[in-house]
Structure 1
């Protein structure tokens, strides 16, 4: 059966929803190319948005692009399309991370459960505000673990002793940043202060920093660094933060893309269940510290992300690049 040609408006909507995904420092390190005759979307890494200090191997870049890929899958199913995914389709082109064939319903079965996640794409936020001490019910935890497993990853809720270890690693990462002034380069590049806030299309604007931590143990990165932010205020954060470790068996580009898709699936499921979320990559940016985040008895091979989950403010929306800046149609 001949396929109907997809109109550019539909593809623009799909990409707009894909790019609501989280990425390290909201750098949005992706580009999309739509081959109209083939109904094929190509997802490419944008090396100009890489972070040589914080992410020298581009692991976090791949995770961010994987999260955008998952959103694209959800958006495609919502548009009554069937996304056929190939990861790393051309070994000669390492920047080409995935191809997505947008098939008609008549040609293949849909992942119908993805349709249910579509409302959460626009609702999901990163919250750097205090959460309550309320526990996360076991059935919600099980749902999030199942979501990660659907994408080939593992989600672990560590015990109290392991949480304390993770918090110590976050403090170690913060201390290393203070000692090594050059470690701030990526953070300074991707944060928006003063007049930049109103015109920003990427990065983390000052209004999304959240309050300074006056008390508590929650691992929340202070994006202001050494720079003053007027009228920011401070607050007490949770004493017993609810953390989760997202891991994969392997630790290469394909695993990082899988981790990104699993991460976004977990975040969308959590959003639908009323959870607020933030991501803690700080101790994962140093190879030595990252190795220590793993619990050898847990079965998690390589930790790809530390999630903070709980009940509290959702956080503001952060800026996004206009679709014409990230999508080309041929």
Structure 2
């Protein structure tokens, strides 16, 4: 006679039960913060003012604007701070990606935090990320005259793609009449700024002859500007040029812009700007930034009409081939981390 099937029930007392603990979300630590900050502080900023701070909070790395380092005359709207913090954010992104821990970026320029980098899906770095990351220590503004050698078309396309990949656009001015018109806009903006004594005093305050950790060293100021120059150069106390040593007659000039002009657009423009600059460095180009047409509202409006396209110009770049220089000074990490 078959025995009836029986169901065995096991009773587990509450004190013996295993409680399933939720998996903690991924987070960054001090090592990632250190690497991100080392890269971020190499970003460009107006007068090398370095208006950023970084911190680790709730497992994410945050890039903050440093209001105490904002240029009160040249950057009345805060545009230059957001551009600089955006560039610092892009460098931090590259550093994290090279470590195999790329970030998901959220832009928050309305608060004290400009950008928040949270851990994304881990993956190996791409060759392109590694190449641009390796150029961070080498990137710098070259304010000296460039050689007359033209920039090849394939490199110009690479620069435009770099801007496009960061939701920006880069218009390269290669036609002589158009270049002359753009130069007139830039020169008129520079003249407006030069007439402002407070602007000149601020520029002088950020020009250094010693080994300061910020500002523009005189050695990096290029040669002193002269009236016949096509494009305006800031007077950072550079050396006097030899007779006949004018700047290049037909430089390659690019205008970087965004579809919008909100604070978040300006931070994104800073990310795009740094990607273009690192791409130019990786391509063997020298670059200097010409922000005067953006600083003066009337000149910016003229520049926008000149481009005849939707969107807002955020930076003018001068590109070409020149004698390699070296990167400018930077503050210690202890001064940047908070």
Q: Same fold (TM over 0.5)?
A: yes
Residues 32-67 of structure 1 deviation map (CA, whole Å, 9 limit, x = unaligned): 1112xx321111111111122111111111001000
Unaligned runs of 5+ in 1: none
Tell me, in whole angstroms, the C-alpha distance in 2 between the residues paired with 1:147 and 1:204: 27
Based on CA coordinates, which of the two structures has the bigger radius of gyration? 2
Give, in angstroms, the shift of residue 86 of structure 1: 0.5
The answer for the alignment partner of 2:265 in structure 1 is 255
User: How many residues of Structure 1 are paired with residues of Structure 2 in the alignment?
Assistant: 311
The answer for the alignment partner of 1:60 in structure 2 is 80
Give, in angstroms, the shift of residue 2 of structure 1: 5.2
Name which of 140, 143, 147 aligns with 1:125.
140
CA contact (8 A) 1:217 1:241 kept: no
The answer for the alignment partner of 2:48 in structure 1 is 26
Bigger proportion of residues as strand? 1
Tell me, in whole angstroms, the C-alpha distance in 2 between the residues paired with 1:187 and 1:273: 31
CA contact (8 A) 1:247 1:302 kept: yes
1:143 matches 2:158: yes
Name which of 214, 218, 236 aligns with 1:202.
214
CA contact (8 A) 2:60 2:119 kept: yes
Tell me, in whole angstroms, the C-alpha distance in 2 between the residues paired with 1:11 and 1:45: 17
The answer for the alignment partner of 2:11 in structure 1 is none
The answer for the alignment partner of 2:171 in structure 1 is 156
Give, in angstroms, the shift of residue 288 of structure 1: 0.7
The answer for the alignment partner of 1:175 in structure 2 is 191
Residues 196-252 of structure 1 deviation map (CA, whole Å, 9 limit, x = unaligned): x22x1111111111122466424322223xxxx6xx231421011110000111111
Using the TM superposition, name which of 169-178 and 121-130 deviates more: 169-178
Give, in angstroms, the shift of residue 6 of structure 1: 4.8
Q: Secondary structure of 1:147's match?
A: helix
Name which of 278, 292, 304 aligns with 2:302.
292
Unaligned runs of 5+ in 2: 1-22
CA contact (8 A) 2:186 2:231 kept: no
User: Looking at both structures, which has the greater relative contact order when contacts are Cα pairs under 8 Å and sequence separation is at least 6?
Assistant: 1
CA contact (8 A) 1:31 1:326 kept: yes
Name the CA shift for 1:178/1:279 in 2 (closer, same or farther; >3 Å).
closer
Name the CA shift for 1:242/1:5 in 2 (closer, same or farther; >3 Å).
closer
Name the CA shift for 1:72/1:314 in 2 (closer, same or farther; >3 Å).
same
Give, in angstroms, the shift of residue 30 of structure 1: 0.5
Superposed CA RMSD in Å reads: 2.1
What's the TM-score, normalizing by structure 2? Answer: 0.86
Tell me, in whole angstroms, the C-alpha distance in 1 between the residues paired with 2:97 and 2:186: 38
What's the TM-score, normalizing by structure 1? Answer: 0.87
The answer for the alignment partner of 1:233 in structure 2 is 240
